[in-house]
Amino acid sequence: MMKQNVVEMTVNVIPEPVLRRLPVYYQYLRKINLDAPKEYISCARIAEELNTLAIQVRKDMAVTGAQGRPRVGYKVIELIKAIEIFLGWNNASEAYLIGAGNLGSALLGYQGFKDYGLNIIAAFDVSADKIGSEIYGKKVLSVKKLPDMIKRTGVKIGILTASASCAQELTDIMVNAGIKAIWNFAPVKISAPEGIIVQHENLASSLAVLSKRLALLLAER
């Protein structure tokens, strides 16, 4: 069966597991660069610290194009830069957040996003008592203004923190207005046309892994 079109195939040249590990290295490298800076680091060292294998680290780094030196390792700063550029985190992308509830507010207040080149420039909500307010310095606007704002500002990323029941409707609005990527925190599968990127953040999936492992651990002793 022909599963993927050409664009998607190019995307998938980088395996998703690799993409998901890169930020882990990134966080670690930035941390040591702050806490105990040193010029070079070896794959073996990174692997030991992050509880993985040197080969995997080396392979993962290879996809970013970073180059090391035999007998010495990689330049820490170069690794950080290489990951940043590879993921496009070197220049900020603007995003709108839709749904200023508990989770939405938490994300609005999360300082870490700027390290990943993500800048939430405004939030949208339906609730009258939120509209017009500010949360962590970000304006909360009426969701009615969303289509117009997307068109005017050309923002490409929508962070969807609305309830499950509104998620699809809001997705359609965003897509029609020109949003290209949706980071979905609502606990439902949303559907979007071909070519729109939907990244589903499902707490339940992580919890499932934890639950099952814990159940087995507690049962087998």
Partner DNA sequence: CTTTTATTGATAAATATTTATCTATTTAAC
Partner DNA sequence: GTTAAATAGATAAATATTTATCAATAAAAG
What does the binding site for DNA look like in residue numbers (CB under 7 A)? 1, 3, 12, 15-18, 42-45, 52-56, 58-59, 61-62, 66-74
Give the residue with the Cβ less far from its own copies, 17 or 70: 17
Q: Which among its own copies, DNA, none contacts residue 69 (Cβ within 5 to 8 A by kind)?
A: DNA
Give the residue with the Cβ less far from DNA, 106 or 208: 208
Closest distance to DNA from the beta carbon of 192 (Å): 19
Closest distance to DNA from the beta carbon of 104 (Å): 30
Closest distance to its own copies from the beta carbon of 101 (Å): 8
Token pair for 3: 């599963």
Give dist(CA 15, CA 21) in Å, integer. Answer: 10
Cβ atoms of residues 70 and 58 within 8 Å: no
Element at 78 (helix H, strand E):
helix 76-87
User: What are residue 5's phi and psi, to 5 degrees?
Assistant: -85, 180
Q: Which among DNA, its own copies, none contacts residue 199 (Cβ within 5 to 8 A by kind)?
A: its own copies
Q: Which among DNA, its own copies, none contacts residue 210 (Cβ within 5 to 8 A by kind)?
A: its own copies
Give the residue with the Cβ less far from its own copies, 40 or 116: 116
Closest distance to its own copies from the beta carbon of 96 (Å): 14
Q: Which among DNA, its own copies, none contacts residue 158 (Cβ within 5 to 8 A by kind)?
A: none
Element at 174 (helix H, strand E):
helix 164-177
Cβ atoms of residues 43 and 75 within 8 Å: no
- How would you label 132-149 residue by residue, b for 16+ Cβ within 10 Å and e otherwise? eeebeebebbebeebeeb
